[in-house]
Structure 1
Amino acid sequence: MKVGIFFGGPSREREISFAGGRTVYDNLDKALFEAVPVFVDSLGNFIRLDWQYIYKGTIRDFYPPVEALPESEHGLQIYLESLGELSIEEQDKIIAKAGKRLQPNEFKQYFDFAFLALHGPYGEDGSIQGLLEWYHIPYSGSGILPSAIGIDKAAQKELLKQNGFATPGYSLIKYSDWADHSKRESIFEQLVAQLGLPLVLKAPHQGSSIGISIVKEKDFTTFETGVDRSFFTKTIYKSQWLAMGEEKQLTSIKQLVDIREGIGMPVLLQDGSIIYHPEELFNHINHTFSSSATDSITLTNVEHEQQVLVEAFIQGKEFSCIVVQDEQGQPIALPPTEIVKGNEMFDYRSKYLPGLSRKITPINLPVEQIQQIRKDCSKLFKDFGFNVYARLDGFITETGDIFLNDPNTTSGMLPSSFFFHQAAEIGLNPSQFLTYIIRTSVAERLKTGKDTVKLTRLLQKLDKSIQEQQAHRHDKIRVGVIMGGYSSERHISVESGRNIYEKLSSSTKYEPLPIFLTGSNESHRLYTIPINVMLKDNADDIKEKVHYFEKGGKPHPVLAQITEEAESITRKYTGSTLQEPQRISYEQLKNLTDAVFIALHGRPGEDGALQAELEKLYIPYNGSGIRSSQITINKYETNEILAKHGVPVAKHAMALKEDWMQDKEAFFQGIEAAFPYPFIAKPADDGCSSAVKKIKNRQELAAFSHLIFREMEELDTECARTLSLGFKEEFPNKAGFLVETLISRNGAKHFLEITGGLLTKYDPDGTVNYEIFEASEALAEGEVLSLEEKFLAGEGQNITPARYAADPVRRQKISDKVKEDLRRVAQILNIEGYARIDAFVRVLENDEVETIIIEVNSLPGMTPATCIFHQTAINGYKPYDFIDRILQYGVERTKMKGQL
């Protein structure tokens, strides 16, 4: 069946939709479906996207294309709407750079079914659903009416009350009333009297918690700012603007035009004129404040809300519950997940940035209360006429009152979202759950009485394919995907491992088995884990669950009941039931698998220890061999070897705990004598930006040393504050750290940080051939590239290929020189399989190139958003193809050694 995946769109949630569409594209079962990517741009054009662009970090990295971008003095990134009013011809030129324009009447030529990964207005409100029905295309999820209800928070309030659901007190602020400044304070007074404090302010047609604020105290200024935020309007004051200086003004503009947390573009001025481009806005603000007596400028997004929903605050546990339909059309509420937040509000960042919130499934409550939540969610699903699946959010108070709010007909589809997290509790992996969604959606569209014969045949054909696929499950190559570990990189390892598992599970060639590794350097402990444990929030949650079952723990009674209720679904799509985690030895691993994919980062995994265990038993594995791994795990040793071969590296030295303990002052003075501030301090044997800090003074050096050499597990709060450590940021405990000079421009014409990937294969004569990819240019928001910027969808900016020069011929010539430098590094270190090499590049006046190596990762991060997939796409490899090549190399290496 050809499945058109609709993603992107005009809404403020387009980046999450883009990342979710990529998840669906990668995870659709390749034995059942052919995925057709349909990117929807912010003007509503439908584009059959060239697949390479699916693996870009954000929409703005490829659309609008570079050729269509106007000159921007400050390099401000834009979406299509910032190009102003475009003619159809101008739009066609832009679209042709990314793919092929599709007209709705052509949809049938390209796909049989539309999978909707669109969010917010136009995607969840019945608009796209109505269009697809008009053109006789079956689609996923709810129909037109429930979608229209699901997007409108204000309309939902009335329906909740009419159907007997508890709902907090609420009121609406009309935009026309808010525009009259004389009414604002009385509006605030009336709302406080009516609803009490705190007040929750919501933009009623937005998802992903966009445009939400909480007003805790009787403070009119905070309230005014919050309401403006929900209306997507902002007043800029002359005194504050001029006090900032240009750098802070630019930062402020970037925040202002952010579609998620700012007001977005284009903006309407008070005189009725419209500004489209952020650069134009920046210049307008500066010109207005410098040339007139105006003391403020009010900007409003051209698609602002017409009213703001104000609710009374509910104190209680927050939860989210996915409800699905069985084959008889009856709702089954999956186990509700408790959202434990780092701050008061489950906002956009808390939803999508790792570590800012935690998901606990099922919610930590007595069984009766969990069942009541499920019962209420199932009732709401029926009362609102939802179909196939929905995500229902709510609160439960200490007295057991349940408040449901914000039902969503489309859930976020990132790999770690509630959508997959809860489906795993009945044993469905992401690929199987997507098959369930498609099959159930076709059956639901059949109920409308439209296209009955066509839809019946489509359903019969799909059912037959599902049965045939189950019959051939055991013909596949078994791959153990080892994830987790016990280092500060364990959470990224789990993200990588899950991504590898999901890519392999949707293939026709491999049958992956998730393996969780924990323990210590002295003793590795391996466990096979079921899908519901693998999709827990992070490595620590997985470890906790594994140990719970190891001690004889039983499945939660609610989970046991849900598993029983959903047995018909589970058996149809998996052919089996959930198993408990089992501890295994390396010998048992050999019997369970044909090959292993190591998705670990740092120690263990990249240090050769695990490779040694696998080689003893002749188990094929990915990545470099034992000796090469032992070298590259140690950044100091890597630097030493490369320097001996004449490869440029930063000046470096090890700072040791024993010297620090003996004489702290001499320790600090010794470093300061060799390395002038600022310099870089980092662990010598950890990756993923863990504890990499730019040290600018003695106070920061002392704080860094104290934290890394500490005896206790807890971090000293004063030292953490000195180093500006982020919320829940981990800091490893080591006996030494690496000090390096800060690599700077040093007079170069062009200077940039890059990360370059590579892949190896065997030539016919058995020699290793290196395929070096086009490197990505890494742009850091802070002093060093953060974990989120490296690995999280929609965060950070990796420009692939790197911008070495504006002229394409010169750019390629410089790129080829850099690639040769990276190839030489790989050969010196005897890297195999694949790797990522980070470096700084100086382009000198005569286009001479200096490539200064920072570090080598022998098992680079393989999360969905990592830039190595942007690079492989240029060479024609989809992520699955890349992973397949990596595994093939490992198998061939074992064969060449005569071990298979």
Structure 2
Amino acid sequence: MKIGIFFGGPSREREISFAGGRTVYDNLDKSLFEAVPVFVDSKGNFILLDWHYIYKGTIRDFYPPVSALPPSQLPVQVYLESLGDLTQAEQDSIIAEVGRRVQPHELRELMDFAFLALHGPGGEDGAIQGLLEWYGIPYSGSGILPSAFGINKVAQKKLLKALDRPTPDFRVISTEDWDAADPAATLDYLVRELGLPLVFKAPRQGSSIGISILREADVAKFAAAMERSLFRKTVTQQEWRALSYQEQIVWVQQLIDIREGIGLPVVMELRDANLKRKGDYNSNTQKVIYRPEELLELLDRWLQYAGSAQLTSTDGEAQVLVESFVQGREFSCIVVEDGTGKPLALPPTEIVKGEEMFDYRSKYLPGLARKVTPIDLPEADIQRIRESCEEMFDTFGFQVYARLDGFIQADGTLFLNDPNTTSGMLPASFFFHQAAEIGLNPSQFLTFLIRTSLAARRRGGMQPVRLAGLLGQLDAAVASRQQQERSRIKVAVIMGGYSSERHISVESGRNIYEKLSSSVKYEPVPVFLTGNSQEFRLYVLPINVMLKDNADDIREKIELAEAGHATHPILARIRQEAQAITSTYAGQAVEQPRRITFPELAEEVSEVFIALHGRPGEDGALQRELEQYGLPYNGSGVASSSITINKFETNRKLREAGLRVAEHRMASRLEWTADPEGFYQSLETQFPYPFIAKPADDGCSSAVKKIKNRAELTAFTRLIFRDQEDLMAADATVLHLGFKEEFPQKEAFLVETLIERDGAAHFLEVTGGLLTHWGENGELQVEVFEASEALATGEVLSLEEKFLAGEGQNITPARYAPDPVERQRISEEVKAELRRVAEVLDIQGYARIDAFVRVRQNSAVEVLIIEVNSLPGMTPATCIFHQTALAGYTPYQFIDQILEFGKKRAENLELKA
């Protein structure tokens, strides 16, 4: 069956939609379905996307293509709407670089079924559903009317009030009322009617976009909350002039972020009587601004004269929904239709937040909020939540599935609000997280949803004879698929660990699991590693535990199972209710985590994929254990791994081989303890500020900091040499550590000179992947991919920017020069240097090498190596997949190549032995 996956779209949630569409594309069962990627751009064009663009980190990494972008010196990527009003021919030219335009009437020739991963306006509001109905194409999820209702928060509130269902009191303020109102009087009215705190919502947005909470009767904060929901921003002359140029760039970057800012284009409006005295300006001047450079320039120029400027998104909101605050425990519950079309609520998940609001970042970045499933309440209360969600599902006429959010108060009062007819589909989202509790992995759950959607469309009267035929074919194929499970190669995917990168490791491991589970060749077995450097403990994970939010949640579930903690009665109940679904699509019930030894692992699986980062995993210790039991594995061997885990030793070895690296030295705890002042002065003498400080034996960007002064050096040293587990708040503040940002404890850290432009004509940070092969005569061959150019929003690339969907800005291939021929010449030189690194360090399997590249005025190329990752991150958004796609490998093919290399290496070692 050909499944058209619709993703992207015009909404502010397009990046989550893009990442969710990729999840669906990867997880569709390859023995049942053929995926057809239909990318929807921000102007609503349908594009049959060339497959390799699916693996870009963000939409802006490939669309609009670099060739369509105007020259820019700002480190900011833009969306299509920043190119202004384009003609049809101009749009066609842009589309042709990434795929081909598809007219609506062509859709039914491309697909048998449409899977909708679109969010927000244009995706969840009935618009795309109506188009597909017109052309007779069955689609996933709810139909036109429930979709239109599901996106309108104001309409939902009115219906809940009319039905006498518990819902927070509310008021609606239109833009016209707001513009004419006295803010102080309006705030007094809202506080009198609704009390404090107040919750402000954009009525037609999802993912907590445009939401804020006002806890005090402060008029300025009230106005800011209103502006956030209307997607406006007012900046005063005083505020703007207080910012440095670099701070102004960051301000613009944050403003044009469609998720947490207001996006582009914007209308700039100036209201200032002083303007009347200036010849070039008129009072109440308005201008539409499309590009970041234009916005930066005009703000700088206009705020010389105007007291303030108001910026309004051209795609903002016309109303703000203001609600009274609900004090209670927050939960989210997925409801699906069972085989008979009746709603079945999955186990509700409690959202335990570190911040007061479950915002966009908390939803999608692992570790920022905990998801506890089921919510820790008496069984009767959990069942009441489930029944209320099933009732709302019925009342609103939802179909197939929906995500319902709510609060339960201390007195038992239950509030449901903000239903979503298209849930976020990232691998660890509520969508897959709760389905796993009944035993369905993402691939199986998607198959179930496609089947359920076909049945729902048929019940709704869409081509009943044709859809009955499709249902019959799918049911037969699903039954046949169960027989194929027995013949696939078993691969243990080892994830987790105990380093500061354990959460990213789980993201990588899950991604590998999902790529393999939807294949016809491999049967992945998820294995969690915990313990310490003296003892590795391995646990085979059931799917529901593997899809917990992060590594700490997984470890907690393992500890509870080992302590004999019984299955929660509500989970047992739901699994019983869902037995018909589970037996059809999964074939087996959910189990508990199971401790396994290395000898037992060797009996159960044929090979291993190590998805660990840092120690253990990249240091050779685990590889040594696997070799002892004859288990093939991915990545480099013991000797090479023991060098590349140590950045100091890696740099030393590369320098000895004539490669360029930063000046560096180790700074030890013993040295600091003996004489702190001498320690600091020694570093300051050798490394003028600013310089880089980082752990020597952690990978990625864990605790990598640009140190600019003595205060930051002191704070970094105190944190990394601390005795306690918790961070010292004052030092964390000095280093501007983010919420829940981890900082490892070490006995020494690495100090390096800051690599800078140094007068080069062109200077950029790149990350390049490589893959090794066995030649015909058994020799090792190194294939180096086109490197990606990494754009950091902060001083150094963060973990989120490297690995999480929608966060990083990576341009692949790297923009070494405007001229294509010159760009490729430089690229070949860079790749040659990265190949030398691989050869010097005896890297095998695959790796990622980070470097800075300087291109001098005379076109000479300098490559300065930063670090080598022998087990690079394999999360869905990591740029190594962008690079392999350019070389013609899908992520699955890349993973298959890695596994085949490891298997061949093990065979060679066995022959030699």
Whether TM exceeds 0.5 here: the answer is yes
Structure 2: distance between partners of 1:522 and 1:289: 62
Structure 2: distance between partners of 1:299 and 1:679: 38
Of 748, 756, 761, the residue aligned with 1:744 is: 756
Letter of the 2:266 partner, please give it.
V
DSSP 3-state at the match of 2:385: helix
Deviation at 1:73, TM superposition (A): 4.9
Deviation at 1:252, TM superposition (A): 2.1
Deviation at 1:262, TM superposition (A): 1.9
Aligned in 2, Cα 1:724/1:104: closer, same or farther, shift over 3 Å? same
2:278 maps to 1:279? no
2:443 maps to 1:431? yes
Aligned in 2, Cα 1:564/1:684: closer, same or farther, shift over 3 Å? same
Whether the 8 Å CA contact 1:530–1:580 is kept in 2: the answer is yes
Structure 1: distance between partners of 2:256 and 2:853: 31
- Name the structure 1 match of 2:510: 498
Structure 2: distance between partners of 1:289 and 1:733: 47
- Name the structure 2 match of 1:465: 477
694-703 or 640-649: which moved more? 694-703
- Name the structure 2 match of 1:254: 253
Structure 1: distance between partners of 2:13 and 2:719: 39
Aligned in 2, Cα 1:774/1:242: closer, same or farther, shift over 3 Å? same
- Name the structure 2 match of 1:29: 29
Matches within 5 A, 1:551-590: 551-590=563-602
- Name the structure 1 match of 2:90: 90
2:288 maps to 1:289? no
Deviation at 1:700, TM superposition (A): 2.3
Structure 2: distance between partners of 1:203 and 1:176: 15
Aligned in 2, Cα 1:667/1:254: closer, same or farther, shift over 3 Å? closer
Structure 1: distance between partners of 2:73 and 2:718: 43
Structure 1: distance between partners of 2:311 and 2:675: 58
Letter of the 1:320 partner, please give it.
S
Structure 1: distance between partners of 2:88 and 2:171: 42
- Name the structure 2 match of 1:797: 809
Deviations 1:184-221, CA, capped at 9 Å, x for gaps: 43322221111111111111001111111111111122
Structure 2: distance between partners of 1:301 and 1:806: 32
Tell me the TM-score normalized by structure 2. 0.96
2:246 maps to 1:234? no
2:829 maps to 1:829? no
Aligned in 2, Cα 1:641/1:74: closer, same or farther, shift over 3 Å? closer
Deviation at 1:587, TM superposition (A): 0.5
- Name the structure 1 match of 2:557: 545
- Name the structure 1 match of 2:279: none
432-441 or 739-748: which moved more? 739-748
Aligned in 2, Cα 1:212/1:868: closer, same or farther, shift over 3 Å? same
Aligned in 2, Cα 1:620/1:8: closer, same or farther, shift over 3 Å? same
Matches within 5 A, 1:415-494: 415-494=427-506
Structure 1: distance between partners of 2:728 and 2:185: 47
- Name the structure 1 match of 2:720: 708
Of 339, 353, 357, the residue aligned with 2:369 is: 357
Whether the 8 Å CA contact 1:163–1:383 is kept in 2: the answer is no
Of 507, 519, 522, the residue aligned with 1:510 is: 522
237-246 or 408-417: which moved more? 237-246
- Name the structure 2 match of 1:153: 153
Aligned in 2, Cα 1:602/1:73: closer, same or farther, shift over 3 Å? closer
Structure 2: distance between partners of 1:162 and 1:177: 25
- Name the structure 1 match of 2:134: 134
Structure 2: distance between partners of 1:584 and 1:528: 7
Deviation at 1:145, TM superposition (A): 0.7
Deviations 1:64-106, CA, capped at 9 Å, x for gaps: 1122222335354321112222221111111111111111110
2:69 maps to 1:69? yes
Structure 2: distance between partners of 1:150 and 1:203: 14
- Name the structure 2 match of 1:12: 12
Deviation at 1:272, TM superposition (A): 5.8
Aligned in 2, Cα 1:671/1:254: closer, same or farther, shift over 3 Å? closer
Structure 2: distance between partners of 1:465 and 1:364: 39
Deviations 1:310-333, CA, capped at 9 Å, x for gaps: 111000111100001110111111
846-855 or 435-444: which moved more? 846-855
- Name the structure 2 match of 1:630: 642
Deviation at 1:892, TM superposition (A): 0.8
- Name the structure 1 match of 2:103: 103
Tell me the TM-score normalized by structure 1. 0.98
Letter of the 2:52 partner, please give it.
Q
Structure 1: distance between partners of 2:671 and 2:194: 62
Aligned in 2, Cα 1:704/1:76: closer, same or farther, shift over 3 Å? closer
Matches within 5 A, 1:480-879: 480-879=492-891
Deviations 1:266-300, CA, capped at 9 Å, x for gaps: 2234556533333333333333334xx53222232
Whether the 8 Å CA contact 2:75–2:791 is kept in 1: the answer is no
2:382 maps to 1:370? yes
Deviations 1:470-506, CA, capped at 9 Å, x for gaps: 1110110000000011111111111110110011001
Whether the 8 Å CA contact 1:76–1:279 is kept in 2: the answer is no
Whether the 8 Å CA contact 2:542–2:592 is kept in 1: the answer is yes
Letter of the 1:553 partner, please give it.
H
Structure 2: distance between partners of 1:240 and 1:669: 37
Deviations 1:864-887, CA, capped at 9 Å, x for gaps: 111111110100111111101000
Structure 2: distance between partners of 1:148 and 1:708: 52
218-227 or 458-467: which moved more? 218-227
Structure 1: distance between partners of 2:352 and 2:565: 23
Whether the 8 Å CA contact 2:77–2:809 is kept in 1: the answer is no
Deviation at 1:427, TM superposition (A): 0.6
Structure 2: distance between partners of 1:71 and 1:732: 41
Whether the 8 Å CA contact 1:142–1:409 is kept in 2: the answer is yes
RMSD (Å), alpha carbons: 1.5
Structure 1: distance between partners of 2:507 and 2:838: 26
- Name the structure 2 match of 1:186: 185
Structure 2: distance between partners of 1:278 and 1:673: 40
Whether the 8 Å CA contact 2:367–2:549 is kept in 1: the answer is no
Structure 1: distance between partners of 2:250 and 2:747: 39
Q: What is the percent sequence identity of the aligned residues?
A: 65
Unaligned runs of 5+ in 1: none
Structure 2: distance between partners of 1:155 and 1:634: 58
Of 873, 889, 895, the residue aligned with 2:901 is: 889
- Name the structure 1 match of 2:278: none
Structure 1: distance between partners of 2:616 and 2:470: 48
- Name the structure 1 match of 2:175: 175
Structure 1: distance between partners of 2:469 and 2:585: 19
Letter of the 1:171 partner, please give it.
R
Structure 2: distance between partners of 1:744 and 1:75: 16
Structure 1: distance between partners of 2:396 and 2:323: 21
Whether the 8 Å CA contact 1:598–1:621 is kept in 2: the answer is yes
Unaligned runs of 5+ in 2: 270-284
- Name the structure 1 match of 2:216: 217
Structure 2: distance between partners of 1:73 and 1:770: 35
Deviations 1:622-641, CA, capped at 9 Å, x for gaps: 00111111111111111111
DSSP 3-state at the match of 1:751: strand
DSSP 3-state at the match of 1:734: coil
DSSP 3-state at the match of 1:731: coil
Structure 1: distance between partners of 2:380 and 2:511: 36
DSSP 3-state at the match of 1:526: strand
Aligned in 2, Cα 1:50/1:242: closer, same or farther, shift over 3 Å? same
2:402 maps to 1:390? yes
DSSP 3-state at the match of 1:898: helix
Deviations 1:750-787, CA, capped at 9 Å, x for gaps: 11111110001100100011000011111111221111
817-826 or 186-195: which moved more? 186-195
Structure 1: distance between partners of 2:698 and 2:242: 41
Give aligned pairs, total: 897
DSSP 3-state at the match of 2:696: coil
